[in-house]
Amino acid sequence: MEPMNPDPVTMVVTAHPAPGNEAEWKQILTSTIQASLKFPGHMGTTVIKQESRLKPTYQIIIRFDQLENLDHWKASPEREHWLSRLHALEHCPPAITHNTGLETWFEFSHHDEQPIAVHPPKYKMAIIIWIAVYLTVIPIINVIRPFTSELHILIGSAITTSITVPLMTWVMIPALSWLLQKWLYPVKKR
């Protein structure tokens, strides 16, 4: 029996609606997202329109709580129905990647010169995470210390981490990734 992957999984789709089809494509994409919301384990979808000189480019980031639930959505007749309608309006087939773990924090970059987003090297991810930890943990500890100093160290630590982990995940890492995107995703000269 294959072990189940309990970690959240992200599917990133880079799509290019054909010129003149963008409005209809966006309507069908909205219907596709609404259909996916009904599936177990769906954790949200983000759509990012990339600035592009060459063609309209969208990144659709779909999150599920585990690979099994994402696979259930991917194999569904509902998804197949909506995808066939989307593909008929696209300039070229979409690029699809699946990510788990730290890479999901660093998945939003796309350049005209790089058709598929690639993850930065692990040392760059480690530096960004270290900066995020440093800028989040130190201030939070200093702010809440007066309120938690009388508590048992495990309870105080639980309170601290319950504040810092969401801040890092949804605020600091995305903000640092955006601020340092040219360093994380340098455009390769040809």
pLDDT in tens, 122-178: 888 889 889 999 999 889 988 998 998 899 989 988 998 889 888 887 788 878 887
**Is a pLDDT exceeding 50 seen at residue 110?**
no
Tell me the three-class secondary structure of 74-92, residue by residue.
HCCHHHHHHHHHHHCCEEE
Q: Which fold has domain 9-106?
A: Alpha-Beta Plaits (3.30.70)
Amino acid letter, 151: L
Q: What is the pLDDT of residue 27?
A: 94
Domain boundaries, the chain: 9-106, 122-184
Residues in a beta bridge with 10: 63, 99
Tell me the three-class secondary structure of 94-114, residue by residue.
EEEEEEEHHHHHHCCCCECCE
**Mean per-residue pLDDT over the chain, rounded:** 81
**Is a pLDDT exceeding 70 seen at residue 18?**
yes
- The CA–CA distances, whole Å, from 24 to 90, 100, 128 equal 11, 32, 38
Mean local confidence (pLDDT), 63-69: 88
Give 52's pLDDT tier (boundaries 50, 70, 90). Answer: low
Q: What is the pLDDT of residue 26?
A: 93
Give 100's pLDDT tier (boundaries 50, 70, 90). Answer: low
Query: Radius of gyration (Cα) for the chain, nearest Å?
Result: 20
Mean local confidence (pLDDT), 3-17: 76
